[in-house]
Structure 1
C-alpha cells in the first residue's frame, strides 16, 4: 500500500513539474543579420591543358608550360602558401573517327590573389605562359571571420527587437533567452566563370584596362530564439 502511495505521489509531482514548465510564458522569434562587404582578394583556378599523340611528349610539354607558369607566379612575389597544384592528370582519349588514341595532360593550379591590383597582370602573364583554361574566379574577404561574427550579432539584435515589438502592447518584458538555434547556412562564395581573350587580342590593347567588377558579397546569419516573458 505504501509503495502505491509513493508511486502516485511521484507521478503527481512529475506531472505538476511538467505542467509548470509548459506554463512558462515564452515567445519564439527569428532574426537575420546581413553584412555587405567589398572583396579584397580572389581565388583563381587555372589549368594548363596539352593534347597530342604520344603520352610521354604530351606530359613533357605540359610540364614545361607548368614550370613557366610557376616561375611567373614566383616572379610576382606571391607567397608560397598562396598557390598550389590542385590536380594533375594524363588521360588517353580514343578518337573513333580517326581510329587512334590521343592523350590529354592537364595541370590545375589554384592561386590566391591578395592584391586585386595585380589581377590583370597575373591573368595576362598566365595566359602568355601556357594557361589555356581559366576555370573560375571566387571573390572573398580577408576578414571573413570578423564579418560573420558581426552578422550573427545583428541577427540576435533583430530577434530581440522583434520580440520586444510583439510584447510591447501586452505590458510585458522580454526576459532571458531559453534556447538559441543557429540556422545560418554555410557561406560559399559564388565563382565567376572567366572568359579571356587570346594573347593577340590582349597585346593589341596598349592602354590599361579594367576587367574586374567585384561588386559586393553579402554575409548572412539567421537565428531562432525563445525568450521568457516577464
Structure 2
C-alpha cells in the first residue's frame, strides 16, 4: 500500500512538472550593461592622526590636541558639520622586540565629505598644519548620481535588447515582450588608497595641485527574459 502511495505521489509530481513546462512560454534570457563616464565633483577624504610613544597618556594627549586643531580648522572653512565625522579612535599597546620595550600607538580617523573638489589641496594643506599626518584614501563621487544611474539603466536595457534581437534574428524567430526584468546593479566607487604619512611643509606652495580626479564610471546591469515567438 505504501509503495502504491509513493508511486502515485511521484506520478502526480511528474505530471505537475510536465504541466508547468508545457505552460512556460519559449523564452530567451539575456543580460545587458550600461556605463556612463562622468567627471567627479565630490570627494570623500579619510584623514587621521597617529602618534607613538612610551607613555599612553602623553601619546593620547598629543593625538587629542591634533584632532582638536583639525576639527577647529574644518569649522573655520565653513564646512557643514554633517560633512565630517569621526570614524575610528584607538589606543593600542605594542611591543618592540628590537628595543625590548613597550610602546603605545594612538590613532584617530576623520571622514570628510568635500562638496567642492577644487578646495582639496588648500584643505589638505591646512589640515597638515593642524597636525594631521595620515591620509587613508580618497573616494571620487558625483552629485548627479541618480541622473547618471538612470542613463546607465536605459543603456543597459538597450544593450540587453540588442543582444536578444541578434539571437532571435540568427534563430529566425520573432522577439516577444519582456517577461521578467532583474536589476543586478551595484553602485561602486573606487577608493584611492595610499596610507601616506604627511609631513609638515609638504606643500609650501598653496597653489600646488596633488589631486587628479579623472573620470568615474556609473554602471547598471540588468537581466531580461523575453518571450520567443514561433
Which TM bucket (shorter chain)? 0.7 to 0.9
Cα distance between partner residues in 1 of 2:157 and 2:67 = 49
In structure 2, stretches of 5+ residues that fail to align are 1-7
Shift of 1:96: 2.9
Alignment partner, residue 18 of structure 1: 20
Q: How many residues align?
A: 218
Unaligned runs of 5+ in 1: 1-6
Counterpart of 2:211 in structure 1 is 212
Partners of 2:134 and 2:217 in 1: how far apart?
28
Question: Structure 2 length normalisation: TM-score?
Answer: 0.84
Summarize deviations over 1:115-144 as a string: whole Å, max 9, x none.
011100111111111111101011111222
Instruction: Find the residue that maps to 1:199 and give its secondary structure.
Output: coil
Distance (Å, rounded) in 2 between the aligned partners of 1:61 and 1:170: 73
When normalised by structure 1's length, the TM-score is 0.84
Q: CA deviation at 1:172?
A: 4.3
Find the aligned partners of 1:94 and 1:225 in 2 and give their Cα distance: 58
Root-mean-square deviation (CA, aligned residues, Å) is 2.5
Say whether 1:78 aligns with 2:82.
no
1:152 Cα deviation after fit = 1.8
1:95 corresponds to which residue? 96
> Residue 60 of structure 1 corresponds to which residue in structure 2?
61
Structure 2 distance, partners of 1:161, 1:97, is 65
Distance 1:14 1:100, change over 3 A: closer
CA distance in 1, matches of 2:112, 2:128: 14
- Cα displacement (A) at 1:197: 6.0
Query: C-alpha offsets along residues 165-212 of structure 1, whole Å, 9 cap, x if unaligned?
Result: 33346664322212223333x332111124476333422x36x22222
